[in-house]
Amino acid sequence: MAKKVGRGADPLWLLKALPDPPRLSPVLNRLIDRVLHPLAEKNRALYLLDSALHISVELGDALVQSIVKSIRYNAPRLLEKEGER
């Protein structure tokens, strides 16, 4: 039997070809800064909220990147047929 070449060779070719999701942290971090920094000049305690929000954004962004990477690299292994190993 001839070996398949191209898209027909790998049923998950589209999954592997997907680009990385956009990073939202730069946009959200700028928004947090624009909203909270002027307010924090009047109430310095808001810098604590600013820090907590920045940490949350970075953790969420890293989580999304990790999930996409995990799916991209592990889905083929999870979906392969028993006889193909």
Q: What would the pLDDT profile of 35-77 be if each residue is shown by its tens digit? A: 999 999 999 999 999 999 999 999 999 998 888 888 888 877 7
* Cα dihedral 15→67→54→26 (10° resolution): -10
pLDDT tens digits, residue range 2-28? 455 455 566 667 667 777 778 888 999
- Measured CA to CA, the distance from residue 32 to residue 54 in angstroms comes to 8
- Measured CA to CA, the distance from residue 61 to residue 67 in angstroms comes to 10
- Measured CA to CA, the distance from residue 76 to residue 72 in angstroms comes to 8
Q: What is the pTM (predicted TM-score) of this model? A: 0.65
